[in-house]
Amino acid sequence: AEKNPGEKEFQQAVKEVLDSLRPVIEANEEQYRKDALLERMTEPERIITFRVPWVDDNGQAHVNRGFRVQFNSAIGPYKGGLRLHPSVNLGIIKFLGFEQTFKNSLTGLPIGGGKGGSDFDPKGKSDREIMKFCQSFMTELYRHIGADTDVPAGDIGVGGREIGYLYGQYKRLTGLYEGVLTGKGLTYGGSLARTEATGYGLVYMVREMLLNAGMTMEGKTVAVSGSGNVAIYTTEKAQQYGMKVVTLSDSNGWIYDPNGIDLDLVKQIKEVRRGRIKEYAEAKPGVEYHEGKGVWSVKCDIALPCATQNELDLEDAKQLKANGCFLVAEGANMPSTREATDFFLESGMMFMPGKAANAGGVATSALEMSQNSERLSWTFEEVDEKLHNIMINIFKKVDEAAKKYGYEGNYVMGANIAGFEKVVEAMNAQGIV
Ligand code: NDP
């Protein structure tokens, strides 16, 4: 905390990870101290911050702050998304880059950890303003990234449109047509199933958790938060498996549809009109809309937080349990507070942390990199099948790592340990760097 003052999300993430690695750290204490392993693990290899000036449609100039944190390249080129949201600061990008390192390790693919973004607010901006911002952002970022060094992707506020503008500017500045970004459109090097990957992967993970407990998916009631990329494709796959999703939300409020979410309507509102989730309740009779928080107060079997960090606190966790919820899997990054996470584990609920549960997105990004390298495109079915197998393998690794240290069923420990051990091995092999 002294070394990183004010970076509360980063401190939270480091503490959570190191606490759960205790058995591993204790078993290797002397060696880790001698090698300053944990100090190296928690210090990013490189932090880049830069000015992003742009001019709005009225001729007014603005300045935002851009970030790229290149956290750890022990197992591959830095890989991780770009977030555009007014809340973005260095502590948030560092927390995301730190977590990304272990998540990427869990996928089994050769990708290191990084994250970036800006405090720019895309809400209410015209396409032209978004393009201006993205071009300005890339005009500095391009010199730090590359298909074999650092490959950014989307995150909150960065979808297909933004990736397109960023890619166009990178190509213009470098002359390179290479896989430097993932989440690209299908006409210029994108991968089929990347859009769906994080949400689909999350549901594949839920499936493994249920199967492992001898349960089925059919007929389960699910509460989902958020209404962006992850929330939408989580809902889609959950419905394909016969589950009933009853909620969605955004930063203004949440909807409850007792008959199950009508996903075509959601896609129309969010993907076509770029509207608000409130419009769903306005368009459909019998749907409740509530301002503010409260999505976790509904009765459900399974809760899948897919919006943002710290959106589910201890009170929410208790309410979920009291209402019969028995499984929580994180589509977002660190959506549960530390107290909520501890409550899930202590009260015997099944709980899968984001770094394992939402790893399908980055895994499929790595598959996009492979396709770009061989200049071929795989079919939707091919990519989806690989994604499904990756999620099955992540569940196995997490489950086995927890068992190995005597903490069966504690997937927080399992995910951190399994992700960490591979990174440590790669770091050790490469010397003190
Ligand atoms: P989107 O921008 O598509 O959607 C984000 C959703 O979360 C929106 O509904 C947004 O509402 C809501 N939200 C964002 N910030 C807040 C906030 N401060 N309070 C309440 N609601 C908020 O992003 P994604 O769906 O891509 O990302 C969602 C989460 O999943 C993030 O934690 C991200 O890091 C994580 N993730 C995403 C991956 C991906 O492939 N996209 C991969 C792995 C993890 P509003 O419109 O009102 O802001």
Q: Please identify, by atom number, the ligand 1 atom nearest to the C-alpha of residue 308.
A: 32
Tokens of 15: 């503490």
Cβ neighbours of residue 84 under 8 Å, at least 6 residues apart? 117, 118, 120, 121, 122, 133, 156, 157, 158, 162
Rounded to the nearest whole angstrom, what is the distance from the C-alpha of residue 35 to the centroid of ligand 1? 37
Question: What tens digit of pLDDT does each residue of 158-217 get?
Answer: 999 999 999 999 999 999 999 999 999 999 999 999 999 999 999 999 999 999 999 999
pLDDT (0 to 100) of residue 255 = 98
- Nearest protein CA to atom 48 of ligand 1, as residue: 251
pLDDT (0 to 100) of residue 1 = 76
ipTM: 0.98
Q: Is 308 in the pocket of ligand 1 (CB under 6 A)?
A: yes
- Nearest protein CA to atom 3 of ligand 1, as residue: 228
Rounded to the nearest whole angstrom, what is the distance from the C-alpha of residue 115 to the centroid of ligand 1? 15
Residues with pLDDT less than 70, the chain: none
- Nearest protein CA to atom 29 of ligand 1, as residue: 332
Torsion of CA 223, 124, 308, 294, to 10 degrees: -40
Substitution site in 106, 229, 296 for ligand 1 pocket (most atoms within 8 Å of beta carbon): 229
Q: Is 155 in the pocket of ligand 1 (CB under 6 A)?
A: yes
Question: What tens digit of pLDDT does each residue of 128-141 get?
Answer: 999 999 999 999 99
Strand order in the sheet with 78-84: 46-55, 61-72, 112-118, 78-84, 150-153
Q: Is 361 in the pocket of ligand 1 (CB under 6 A)?
A: yes
Rounded to the nearest whole angstrom, what is the distance from the C-alpha of residue 155 to the centroid of ligand 1? 7
Q: Is 97 in the pocket of ligand 1 (CB under 6 A)?
A: no
Q: Which of 115, 220, 237, 397 is catalytic?
A: 115
pLDDT (0 to 100) of residue 318 = 98
pLDDT (0 to 100) of residue 2 = 82
| 103-140 burial code (b ≥16 CB/10 A, e <16) | bbbbbbbebbbbbbbbbbebeebeeebbbbbbbbbbbe
pLDDT (0 to 100) of residue 349 = 98
Q: Is 251 in the pocket of ligand 1 (CB under 6 A)?
A: yes
Rounded to the nearest whole angstrom, what is the distance from the C-alpha of residue 228 to the centroid of ligand 1? 6
Rounded to the nearest whole angstrom, what is the distance from the C-alpha of residue 383 to the centroid of ligand 1? 23
pTM here? 0.96
Asked if 220 is an active-site residue, the reply is no
Rounded to the nearest whole angstrom, what is the distance from the C-alpha of residue 80 to the centroid of ligand 1? 14
pLDDT (0 to 100) of residue 324 = 98
